[in-house]
Amino acid sequence: MNEIERREIQEAIAAADEALYHLESAQKYLGSAGNWGLLDLFGGGMITGLVKHSKMGNAEREVQEAKFALQKFSKELRDVSGYSSIHIDDFLTFADFVFDGFLADVLVQSKISEAKRQCEDAIRRVRAIRQELNAKL
């Protein structure tokens, strides 16, 4: 492996790390929002609702950051030999599907659970590709 290939892999790994950071942070906020949402459903008051919406706002910000990080990851992945356009196109389609219209959807408790599941799936996919990249080094 030459130095250019090594650098491209390292850049892709760094982009994967950034995407994972934001995905895991979004997952944490979604979990918290879900818990506060359940409390709100079962008799929480005004403060419970405010905390839930605050957590949802934090999740929204992290989801947007994750979307940008996933786009950067896909861009960096294009530079690594062995990753076809199928890998990249599938990943970008996935990112758009998961994150478009997030704020409107997350206002419903069941959508919080779905968003959490999608975050977990994204984390699993990024980790798998990151592991493949690490193995190339």
**Residue found under tokens 């798998």:** 128
Is a pLDDT exceeding 90 seen at residue 24? yes
Distance CA(27)–CA(59), nearest Å, equals 7
pLDDT of residue 13: 96
Q: What percentage of residues in the chain have a pLDDT greater than 90? A: 41
Cβ atoms of 137 and 9 within 8 Å: the answer is yes
Domain boundaries, the chain: 3-136
Half-sphere exposure of 115 (CA within 13 A, CB side): 33
What is the pTM for the complete model shown?
0.80
Distance CA(137)–CA(2), nearest Å, equals 10
**Residue-wise pLDDT tens digits, 57-95:** 898 899 889 989 999 999 999 899 888 766 677 767 767
List the end-to-end C-alpha distance of the chain, in Å, as a whole number.
Answer: 8
Fold of the CATH domain 3-136? Four Helix Bundle (Hemerythrin (Met), subunit A) (1.20.120)
